Chain A
């Protein structure tokens, strides 16, 4: 019990100390999916939040390191931030020790307050330990209501004495400002918003421009917001470049700000958020998961009342002529029209906005909006690409010039470098939106899959090239990134890649698939393969799931280099590795049992390509041998099928797609033309085994790149009608080979083996389907046995002595097979 208590306490302290480390986050709300559709300012909540936290952490460490004149290391200071809840006179921390030894009462009082304010934070919002806690506004001591915390750490009661007088009495100017921050923070988290506001209004003027000031304003803005002083909060947020999702970005607030200051800096920020929030809300009404992005031709139901009110405000502002950034308002009006599905208005407004005065960010944004608008237009066909070209070229070159920020790293790690350029991030998002939601649907409608592939390739290449750049930076620093991709560069693959697919695919209405389910479709028994970049891109997924003819057409298009300027431009971003495409086409032929055609392409592939593919482990070894009846023996006995050659042994000598195709062709020949009926039957059975194992069995990696129903892309809109990829009929093909086998051989054991294979095959198909939709769902192993029973009974119903209702009889045969 004592140990448990210690554990609980130490866990609490650990969590608290983590908060102390990041040391600010006034609004711990769930990050919202927000695709910065409209940019008037160039930042967003999460990005800003993380950036400020990181900056403040650095500032904190630097400040205290300088404060002790470098007497203790930066590491010790950093550790003190973590260990703030272990602050006491017996501390071992070098930094705290220094303060105690030098009797630095001011600094110690500050750190004690930090300890207290973090408690308030934890008590109020962070930790589930206080999940039932509801702080009572009775002054700064209110959080002591929680007797539990006091029980665990009675020393905390010391901070009771720390209040506003700490600020007044502090002699050191820098520490005084820090006192202010912590007191504001504490007030904020005990819901004493008025107290927080008063503190800033009383002492805020003396705080110089700094990260610390931004932090204070962050709490000040948050407190203003909570007492419904929206417009003032908005102005504060604009000053620090932050927006709060709780702020009601409605027209009324904009109007209030306009009345206070017609040319307020807050507008760039507020209008951006107004439009983006409007966009998000319009979508969210239709989709609770908030990951779906609406094409204006889609089904969003906008709040038209808001649009009308906003348009009236814009008209007034433009009429008054008091605002020096009118292009911002006009472009926002265009964006709203677009969201509402009024394409013509959107284009008209954006053309008008172009002519108005605006900041560079707004002017850039107008260009991006025009690109987005044009990309989803349905009224142009022949000139579609030409219309987009100038803006698309500009956008791609801008991205290249700025460089792709390490945005997936920050997405992965939850932190971003201080110097991250968010504008570049925005440009990439717009490119993604244009391609995925505009260009691809357009070419899909036109039936030009090869062009869809070309644009997906362009997007993928920009990302990959950046990835390579980052690799090189790592390499320059003597570091390696995790994983090795097919091109030989070290890479780091991460969820956003899948998210991109998700966003695109969700456009086609499969919104029930959530990322956790989707992840399971990715090479479920592979870890390294999941990191293979070239096999996890939207470009590859598209090729993998479209018809062979489409892929070939794309290759012809790519080789042609394009005729128009637009085609030339997009093809200049093509990935060109013949082996990559040859291998893919061969694999698609293998799915269709066209092993001879597959061999033609496999032989064009460079010999070392399979090694680079990083899948050798998945097509070799006994467990992956396509001709081992692993489901029957469960041992190392290999079946030679009673044939003149042993396909399993042959495959083992040189595992891979080429050998597999050759063996399948040999087996097919035997099954179709051997003079012995027994051999024909056995060859047909062996062929069925190979077919089963190489598609849905353990050797699936021979024919697929992902384990799952239809390559894991059942939800891809092309798939259901596409025979090249869809293997929904594979069970019929396996069955037809088993029927051939049974035609020539009625031996009971052999028959039962065929039936077991048949049943096993159905089971695997079912398993794949269920894996696709709900991993760990309803599928149970026991499905197999009843199915065997059902199949055997059904199959043998015409035969004596097999015809029986008694499962025992069938089970005996099943056991016979098992004991073979």
Chain B
């Protein structure tokens, strides 16, 4: 010890050339580098080639599988390779058996003569937060059902996606479900099946679930029940506060953008009444009965009681807004594969070909 200390003193080496210190510094940098690389590596990992940034995708969110000519052409024109098809929803049930505590509802029907397109089909199952806490009662049935639906309708499956509006109170259940369901799916399909999950903006602040990747839902960003909301489907201002989480989010993401529209109805007291699937306003609204108040808001002119619908807010998202949000998100995260929500000619026809192309590009 003495000689070593002496040597140090004699040699009088500056600390950065001191071998011991150098070793420590090297170790530190190496460790730091590993720490830095791991999340970056995770974020850009491309599990099973599921995240090809050039691979466009759409959701299919109807209960009857039937694509018209426009939609078929859309799939071809925009080089859609993946279609996320909602298979069914799971919600609580009053059943008195253990496995009846939750039930599948709104199951999609695949008509006999409508072949599922030759795309990468990803079954999606929406589970309500109330149901997810009971997941142990139905997980086996759910996996079997997805398997049965794929089998019957000749859908080759590599991946299944789950959609749940989980919060801190249901997070634990949902995360565990995602781990368990992977095993269940393997049991029925006889092979590994990838599992992905939707991610809502508010969920970005939480730990990500243990899935292969997530689809960031950039829609339903506002409170549609609020009379003052201008556009609850997508408003860049509503997205902004969540962008800060993107940079550190430890899960590869795709970006889902909306093309839908709806009508939000309020009564005479400006209290929310209901949400309606929207139609093209120019076809629907009779201007003799409705007064346009601007910002998509209409007022029914008739003298009606306060309890009845008095105001209708027609909401749809312009291509400019979609592109703005896309750019904001990608600025904070990097380029992401785009998923359009959802495939519906009525909605898609609002946008021209170039706009859609730009959204996917």
- For residue B142, which residue of chain A has the nearest CB? A132
Contact call B283/A132, Cβ cutoff below 8 A: no
Q: Does A134 contact B (CB under 8 A)?
A: yes
Q: Find chain A residues with CB under 8 A from B305 CB.
A: 508-509, 717
Contact call B300/A299, Cβ cutoff below 8 A: yes
Of A145, A228, A717, the residue contacting B112 (CB under 8 A) is: A228
Of B141, B300, B304, the residue contacting A132 (CB under 8 A) is: B141
Contact call A134/B111, Cβ cutoff below 8 A: no
Contact call B112/A227, Cβ cutoff below 8 A: yes
Contact call B97/A129, Cβ cutoff below 8 A: yes
A19 CB to nearest chain B CB (Å): 18
Q: How many A-B residue pairs have CB under 8 A?
A: 81
Q: Does B308 contact A (CB under 8 A)?
A: yes
Q: Find chain A residues with CB under 8 A from B152 CB.
A: 134-137, 191
Cα–Cα distance between A193 and B152 once the two chains are bound (Å): 13
Contact call A228/B111, Cβ cutoff below 8 A: yes
Q: Does B58 contact A (CB under 8 A)?
A: no
Of B93, B279, B302, B304, the residue contacting A131 (CB under 8 A) is: B93
Q: Does B99 contact A (CB under 8 A)?
A: yes
Q: Find chain A residues with CB under 8 A from B302 CB.
A: 297-299
Contact call B309/A299, Cβ cutoff below 8 A: yes
> Chain A: interface residue count, which band?
20 to 34
List which A143-201 residues lie within 8 A (CB) of chain B. 145, 191, 193-194
- In the complex, per-residue mask of A220-244: 1 if CB is within 8 Å of any chain B CB, else 0: 0000001110000000000000000
- For residue B275, which residue of chain A has the nearest CB? A288
- Stretch of B44-52, B143-151, B221-229, B335-343 with 4 or more beta carbons under 8 angstroms from chain A: B143-151
Residue of A8, A128, A145, A341 with most chain B CB atoms under a 10 A cut-off: A128
Q: Does A798 contact B (CB under 8 A)?
A: no
Cα–Cα distance between A8 and B96 once the two chains are bound (Å): 10
- For residue B268, which residue of chain A has the nearest CB? A509
Contact call A509/B308, Cβ cutoff below 8 A: yes
Known: A193-B112, A717-B305. A136 touches B103 (CB 8 A): no
Cα–Cα distance between A128 and B112 once the two chains are bound (Å): 26
- Stretch of B6-14, B251-259, B284-292 with 4 or more beta carbons under 8 angstroms from chain A: B284-292
Cα–Cα distance between A191 and B152 once the two chains are bound (Å): 10
Cα–Cα distance between A508 and B306 once the two chains are bound (Å): 10
Q: Find chain A residues with CB under 8 A from B107 CB.
A: 134
A220 CB to nearest chain B CB (Å): 14
Q: Find chain B residues with CB under 8 A from A631 CB.
A: none
Cα–Cα distance between A103 and B285 once the two chains are bound (Å): 71
Q: Find chain B residues with CB under 8 A from A512 CB.
A: 307
Q: Find chain A residues with CB under 8 A from B145 CB.
A: 132-134
Q: Does B295 contact A (CB under 8 A)?
A: no
Q: Does B100 contact A (CB under 8 A)?
A: yes
Contact call A228/B113, Cβ cutoff below 8 A: yes
- For residue A8, which residue of chain B has the nearest CB? B97
Contact call B309/A134, Cβ cutoff below 8 A: no
Of B103, B112, B274, B284, the residue contacting A304 (CB under 8 A) is: B284
> Chain B: interface residue count, which band?
35 or more
List which B263-287 residues lie within 8 A (CB) of chain A. 274, 276, 279, 283-286
Q: Does B104 contact A (CB under 8 A)?
A: yes
B288 CB to nearest chain A CB (Å): 9
Cα–Cα distance between A137 and B149 once the two chains are bound (Å): 10
Q: Does B118 contact A (CB under 8 A)?
A: no
List which A325-369 residues lie within 8 A (CB) of chain B. 341
List which B284-329 residues lie within 8 A (CB) of chain A. 284-286, 289, 300, 302, 304-305, 307-309
Q: Does B138 contact A (CB under 8 A)?
A: yes
Q: Does A203 contact B (CB under 8 A)?
A: no
Cα–Cα distance between A303 and B283 once the two chains are bound (Å): 8
Q: Find chain A residues with CB under 8 A from B15 CB.
A: none
Q: Does A429 contact B (CB under 8 A)?
A: no
Of B95, B103, B138, B309, the residue contacting A286 (CB under 8 A) is: B309
Q: Find chain A residues with CB under 8 A from B149 CB.
A: 134
- For residue B88, which residue of chain A has the nearest CB? A134
Known: A131-B95, A303-B279, A717-B305. A136 touches B148 (CB 8 A): yes
Of B111, B151, B279, B304, the residue contacting A509 (CB under 8 A) is: B304
Q: Does A260 contact B (CB under 8 A)?
A: no
Q: Does B114 contact A (CB under 8 A)?
A: yes
Cα–Cα distance between A304 and B307 once the two chains are bound (Å): 27
List which B117-144 residues lie within 8 A (CB) of chain A. 138, 141-142, 144
Known: A128-B103, A132-B138, A134-B149. A305 touches B114 (CB 8 A): no
A253 CB to nearest chain B CB (Å): 14
Contact call B95/A128, Cβ cutoff below 8 A: yes
Q: Find chain A residues with CB under 8 A from B138 CB.
A: 132
Sample of 8 more A-B contacts, CB < 8 Å, known A132-B145, A509-B305, A509-B308: A129-B100, A132-B141, A133-B145, A136-B148, A145-B148, A228-B112, A299-B300, A304-B284
Residues in B lying within 8 Å of A, measured CB to CB: 93, 95, 97, 99-100, 103-104, 107, 109, 111-114, 138, 141-142, 144-145, 148-149, 151-152, 274, 276, 279, 283-286, 289, 300, 302, 304-305, 307-309
3 nearest A-B residue pairs (beta carbon): A132-B141, A509-B308, A227-B112
Instruction: Show 12 A/B contacts (Cβ-Cβ < 8 Å), sorted by A.
Output: A131-B95, A131-B100, A134-B107, A135-B148, A136-B151, A136-B152, A226-B112, A227-B112, A228-B111, A286-B276, A508-B305, A717-B305
